[in-house]
Amino acid sequence: MNRERRIWRLIDGKAGHERQSQGLVRALAELSPVEITDLDVSCGLFRRLWRVIVLSSGRTKITRPHLLVGAGRKTGLPVLLARFLTGAKSVMLMNPGAVYRKFGDFCIVPVHDRIPESTKALTVRGVLNTVVPGDNQDQSQGLILVGGPSRHVDWNDRAIEEQIRSVVERHPEIEWTVTDSRRTPESMNESLRRMASTCANHRFYSHAETGPDWIPEQLLRCAQVWVSPDSVSMIYEALTAGSRVGVFELTWRRDSRLKAGLDDLLSLKMATSWAEYDRLGELRQSAVRLEEARRSARWLLAKLDG
C-alpha cells in the first residue's frame, strides 16, 4: 500500500495560481494517498519567509512535508526556504525563474514559456486547472465566456456582441448560458443583459452571482463553449472538460507567448477560430484530449518514487 504523502501547498492569494496548484494536488490525490496543508504566503516577503521558518521548525501542529507545491513568483523563495529547512522535494508551476531552476527539484511549465523539457522539467499545454474531464456533455447546451480588456488584445464590445449574437441566432436549438468576468466592462454587461431579454435561448449570469465551482460545473454540462481570446486559461479548461471550443476574434496588440499558444491550438485543430466557424457553421471536436493535471501528477509521482 502506498504511504501517505504530506503536501504543503503554498498559495499567494491569486485565484489563477491557486487553481493551478489545486489541480495538481487533486490529481495527485487520485493516484496516491495525500495529506494536504495550504499555507498562505500572500503577505510581504519578510513575513512570508518568517512564517516558513516557524512552520518548518517542527514546533507547530503542522507536520513536516514530503512535497512542497508552489505557483507564482511570490511562492518561489518560500518554497526554496522550506525545502532547505525540511528536506522535502519541491515542484513549481509556471516559469519558476532561474534561481528556483538552479536550486529546486521539479517544475511543470506551459509550453509557451519555452523552457525545454528535462529530467527536472515537464512542459504542458496551457496551465493546469481543476476541471475534471467529462464525456457526457449535453449537445443542446452551450456556454459563452466573456473576458475583458487585457494587455494582449484590443478589447471591442461591439465586435464581441455581434459575434455572440451571430452564434446565438445561428443555433436556436442550443440553450446558451453567458457569463462575464471581473475584467468585463459594464458597457459589455449591459449589452449582454439586453441580448438576454430579447433572445429566448440566451441567459446571462454575472460572475458576481456565481460561486467558484460554477464554471467547472457548466463546462461539464455544456458541449459547446465559446471564449473570448483574452481568457486563454478558460480555453484550456474547456478543452480539458472535453467540450467543442470556439474562440471569438479580437485584434492582438502584439505577438506574445499566449498568442503563440493559442495559434498552436488552432493549427492543431483543437479549437475553432471565428473565421473557420464562420465558414463551417459549427465547432469541431478536438482529436486531442487534454488531461494535463493527471499527466503531470503521474510524471511527478514517477520522479518522487524513482
Domain 138-280 adopts which CATH fold?
A: Rossmann fold (3.40.50)
pLDDT at 133: 83
Bridge partners of 91, per DSSP, are 69, 106
Please tell me the distance from the alpha carbon of residue 49 to that of residue 65, in angstroms, as a whole number: 17
Ordered by start, the domain boundaries in the chain are 5-130+293-305, 138-280
Other CB atoms closer than 10 Å to residue 257's CB: what's the count? Answer: 15
The amino acid at 121: A
Enumerate residue ranges in the chain where pLDDT < 70: 1-2, 59
What's domain 5-130+293-305's superfamily in CATH? Glycogen Phosphorylase B; (3.40.50.2000)
pLDDT at 2: 64
pLDDT at 1: 43
Cell 457553421 belongs to residue: 281
Equal CATH topology for 5-130+293-305 and 138-280: yes
Q: pLDDT tens for residues 250-298?
A: 999 887 888 888 999 999 999 999 999 999 889 999 888 899 999 999 9
Please tell me the distance from the alpha carbon of residue 36 to that of residue 287, in angstroms, as a whole number: 34
pLDDT at 157: 96
Please tell me the distance from the alpha carbon of residue 128 to that of residue 122, in angstroms, as a whole number: 12
Task: Map the chain to HEC letters.
Answer: CCCCEEEEEEECCCHHHHHHHHHHHHHHHHHCCEEEEEEECCCCHHHHHHHHHHHHCCCCCCCCCCEEEEECHHHHHHHHHHHHHHCCEEEEECCCCHHHHHHCCEEEEEHHHCCCCCCCEEEECCCCCCCCCCCCCEEEEEEEECCCCCCCEECCHHHHHHHHHHHHHHCCCCEEEEECCCCCCHHHHHHHHHHHHHCCCEEEECHHHCCCCHHHHHHHHEEEEEECCCCHHHHHHHHHHCCEEEECCCEECCCCHHHHHHHHHHHCCCCEEHHHHHHHCCCCCCCCCCCHHHHHHHHHHHHHHC
